[in-house]
Amino acid sequence: MLKRAVVLAGILMLVSAGAVSAADKRLIVGGTLASVREAPWAVALTNSQSSRPTGRWCGAVLVAPDKVLTAAHCMLKPVSTYTAVQGRAELSDDSTGRVSGISKVWIHPGYNTKNNRNDFAILTLAQPFTQVPVITLETNPKADRKGAVPTVYGWGDTADTGPDDTLQKVAVPDLGDDACLANKEYVANGYAAASNVCAGNGTGDACQGDSGGPLVLNGRLLATVSWGKGCADPAFPGVYAEIASAAKALRAQI
């Protein structure tokens, strides 16, 4: 299983491009280029210990001028090694966008690597991204419904379907919880209807390097990239950490 970041409990999470031994990184597969103007709240989380020249590590999303939300499993390194990057479509172009170090990290107290639930971390920016639109958290659990078509954003791996380290997006149909609950591997790795969103039919997917990035529906943050098996495999949808179930705890930190 992939945690679109770190190999934990037999699942590879989608972190980013850190050491291959520590992380199986994920990126958008089958997507299209996205503009930072349409997704100003999309944030790239880089790390000085990443093996990639751009430092790509994970995705994140701006939820307050001084707060970004990402995946708990992305936070494997010392806080001082992380940098948040906003407004930069191509991570190699350091002439654009805004950057900030991280001054504080909060990990959801319910997160653990056994069932992969509550895969959330909130990072406090050392230099707030002022005058940048933030995204609203989705607090209605009914928003996660079969037939909805949210969009996931990220700078992760593309499996040669697009340029690397470049902001992309792809619509991923919400399959409903039953689709993932029918998969024995997913259930064994902790998939739960109340905590996760099951999305993607094989035409597009998040991938290594996209962990923590936003899954957006109707302008609200429905979920964040968490884990899955492979990328854009129709037999293995993407698994996302659902915001509504953790909204109270997240809001208390924001």
pLDDT value of residue 18: 33
Please identify which of the residues 50, 211, 226, 245 carries the catalytic annotation. Answer: 211
Candidate list 24, 66, 119, 157, residue with the active-site label: 119
- 211 is a catalytic site residue: yes
Known catalytic residue at 73: yes
Q: What pLDDT is attached to residue 15?
A: 42
pLDDT of residue 90: 96
pTM for the full model?
0.90
Phi-psi region of 142 (alpha: psi -120 to 50; beta: other; left: phi over 0): alpha
φ, ψ dihedrals at 88, nearest 5°: -125, 100
pLDDT of 150-173, one tens digit each?
A: 999 999 988 766 678 999 999 999
Catalytic residue among 73, 165, 174, 177: 73
Q: Is 21 a catalytic residue?
A: no
One-letter amino acid of 165 = D
Q: What is the pLDDT of residue 28?
A: 75
Domain 1-254 has CATH 3.40.640.10: no
- At 157, list the tokens: 């791996």
Q: Where are the domains of the chain?
A: 1-254
Low-confidence stretches of the chain (pLDDT < 70) are: 1-27, 160-162
Q: What is the pLDDT of residue 106?
A: 98
